[in-house]
């Protein structure tokens, strides 16, 4: 499976379509899609942060990592980690403790590693850099 195609399921376009069907068209099939919308938005933003490649991007989640953006990223990662850890299976157990935990733990590990890399690079004042592109 191509990851690039799989990631598109979580894109802003899909989220906007879900919201449109729920709120504007008021389709009964989408009445309880709010949780799916929240999930997709968080995952989409995470993938954007993990895949920065344009140093001139205006989107806050697609901008490259700089020392000045670390508080913004750290704040979002804290929110995203809390959200992921709080996800529950249909049976009510935590998703990160279930048999399907790998992808979610992978996201948490990526966030933690990303923060550590940026802090490490930022602390080395003898290295000349302006930004960190993640792709």
- 82 Cβ contact list (under 8 Å, min separation 6): none
Confidence bin at 3 (pLDDT 50/70/90):
low
Span 68-82, pLDDT tens digits: 888 999 999 999 999
In the structure, what pLDDT confidence band is assigned to residue 134 with cuts at 50, 70 and 90? confident
For the chain, the domains span: 1-44, 51-135
Place of tokens 């935990």: 101
* Residue 112: both structure tokens together: 């933690």
Query: 111-130: per-residue pLDDT in tens?
Result: 999 988 888 877 776 555 56
Predicted local confidence at residue 129, as pLDDT: 58
What average pLDDT does this structure show over 11-25? 95
């Amino acid at each position: 499976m191509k990851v690039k195609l799989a990631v598109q399921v979580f894109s802003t376009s899909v989220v906007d379509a879900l919201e449109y069907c729920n709120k504007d068209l008021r389709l009964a099939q989408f009445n309880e899609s709010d949780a799916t919308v929240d999930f997709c938005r968080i995952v989409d933003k995470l993938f954007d942060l993990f895949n920065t490649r344009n140093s001139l991007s205006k989107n806050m989640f697609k901008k490259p990592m700089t020392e000045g953006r670390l508080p913004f990223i750290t704040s979002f990662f804290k929110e995203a980690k809390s959200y992921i850890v709080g996800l529950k299976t249909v049976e009510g157990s935590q998703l990160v403790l279930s048999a399907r935990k790998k992808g979610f733990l992978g996201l948490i590990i990526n966030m933690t590693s990303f923060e550590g890399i940026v802090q490490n690079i930022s602390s080395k004042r003898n290295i000349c850099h302006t930004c960190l592109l993640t792709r």
